[in-house]
A = this chain, B = another copy of it.
Amino acid sequence: MALTVSRTETGREFKVKDISQADFGRLEIELAEVEMPGLMVCRAEFGPAQPLKNARITGSLHMTIQTAVLIETLTALGADVRWCSCNIFSTQDHAAAAIARDSAAVFAWKGETLEEYWWCTEKALDWGPGGGPDLIVDDGGDATLLIHEGVKAEEEYDRSGMLPNPNEAENAEFRIVLSIIKEGLLVDPKRYRRMRDRLVGVSEETTTGVKRLYQMQANGTLLFPAINVNDSVTKSKFDNLYGCWHSLPDGLMRATDVMIAGKTAVVCGYGDVGKGCAAALKAAGARVIVTEIDPICALQALMEGIPVLTLEDVVEADIFVTTTGNKDIIMVSHMKQMKNNAIVCNIGHFDNEIDMLGLETYPGIKRTTIKPQTDRWVFPETNRGIIVLAEGRLMNLGCATGHPSFVMSCSFTNQVIAQLELWKERGTGKYGKKVYVLPKHLDEKVAALHLGKLGAKLTKLTPDQAAYISVPVEGPYKPPHYRY
């Protein structure tokens, strides 16, 4: 795809697969709005005051229909927005088209190469001469990473005159990151530092991105405030769990049409994502086995009737799903032992849970693409094939449409609240270069916004009852350590 930027009639930049899909995208966005009460209430409650007026927001987050409703909530609150996806397969092209035409600068399409992916990220951060964005909405931390790496390289260049050397990168993707930075440096050696200086903060969506932020906080290298949206209860205990409960079987069905009932399925990792995946597979009639490193999560699986074994014990299973957030979970040495047409997929943020490099470079391996994001890899010794989904990337976004609107409304309402908070406090010094979580009363508010749609009615504490359990009548109702 030629990497050229188009412009709408109003002059807004974009690059999407097919702008003519905008009408289709708009129809699905309208359906999604009905399923996203948290975001719609934000528009109604905050819209008139335009609290994000003059805020430039860059988002790096799967460019789906649900994200479109998030983007248009941000713009309804006054923000200017530029957006890219955070995964090469996760864009829904009709969503991208609708947003590009109607609301924000979008650089995203389904099936980007890695070079294209980072080009899009760089475009989303590129607000022109005046520097970068004021705020970042991040998912997995790639936008944040690019700025941090850019600043590091610029400072090194100032110090030593050394340019980054892509050939020293530890993997192919990081080589691309360094190349982009290197090229940028040669044009404008202060670019990422101007971005840093302007940036008010980032709100980060997912476990993996949050882990990176805490690592940077621990190292003292974090360059701006960060709000950890992932650890809002209404995010991690809903999106991660119930979202995957929905989208894992959805992805399996769309990619392979395989009958889940009767099959043996291995879920690697029993965190929130793993719990959702295991529950979904059980509910669909599979026998589920979990692999875990953490004895507490392992004991939880056991209490739910799920055996906990090692991958080596169960390499004969039918379906394998990685959910760990760690790397090197299913190696090519496992895959070559699997039965014919075993399905291997990943629903964790990064593709390094599955040893795709080992697979691709296995001598004599033969790859047949059944359809996009569904490949069969045949080992020469055995002539047995395994079916790998979405090239090892997030299968629910690569092979299906990701999490459904209702649960994303919870996550994204947290994002909106975090963006509002960062912007509102931009001059106050309330937030330093640290990682923060939202206070519990906002978490409870996000939940409350989603009850009516499902017909729920809350009980109200009497003042006497509230005093008895030492909480305010209006909440928050639980101590910080409460686990839900």
- Which A residues fall within an 8 A CB radius of B? 24, 27-28, 31-32, 34-35, 65, 211, 214-215, 218, 231, 233-234, 236-238, 241-242, 245-246, 249-250, 253-254, 256-264, 272, 282-288, 291-300, 302-311, 313, 325-328, 340-341, 368, 370-371, 376, 387, 400-401, 403-407, 410, 437, 443-445, 447-448, 450-451, 454-462, 464-465, 468-470, 475, 477-481, 483-484
Contact = CB atoms under 8 A, between A and B. Distances in A.
B250 A31 contact: no
Contact of A293 (B215, B406, B461): B461
15 contacts: A31-B370, A211-B469, A211-B470, A214-B470, A234-B299, A238-B299, A250-B254, A253-B253, A262-B454, A283-B283, A287-B306, A297-B484, A302-B454, A308-B454, A327-B464
A233 B437 CA distance: 21
A286 B261 contact: no
Given A296-B484, A298-B456, 12 more contacts: A35-B258, A218-B470, A234-B296, A260-B404, A262-B454, A283-B283, A285-B305, A287-B306, A293-B477, A299-B410, A308-B451, A308-B454
> How many copies of this chain?
4
Contact of A257 (B299, B306, B405): B405
A253 B24 CA distance: 17
A483 B480 CA distance: 11
B308 A456 contact: yes
A417 to B, nearest CB: 14
B298 A407 contact: no
Given A326-B468, A443-B296, A237 B483 contact: yes
Contacts of A404: 257-260
A462 B260 CA distance: 32
B27 A370 contact: yes
Contacts of A234: 296, 299
Contacts of A263: 454
A216 to B, nearest CB: 11
Contacts of A284: 245-246, 283
A456 B309 contact: yes
Contacts of A297: 484
| 3 residue pairs, one from A and one from B, having the closest CB atoms | A283-B283, A259-B404, A295-B447
A465 B348 CA distance: 15
Contacts of A447: 295-296, 298-299
Identify the interface centre among A303, A309, A368, A460: most chain B CB within 10 Å of its CB: A303
A483 B233 contact: yes
Contacts of A456: 298-299, 302, 307-309
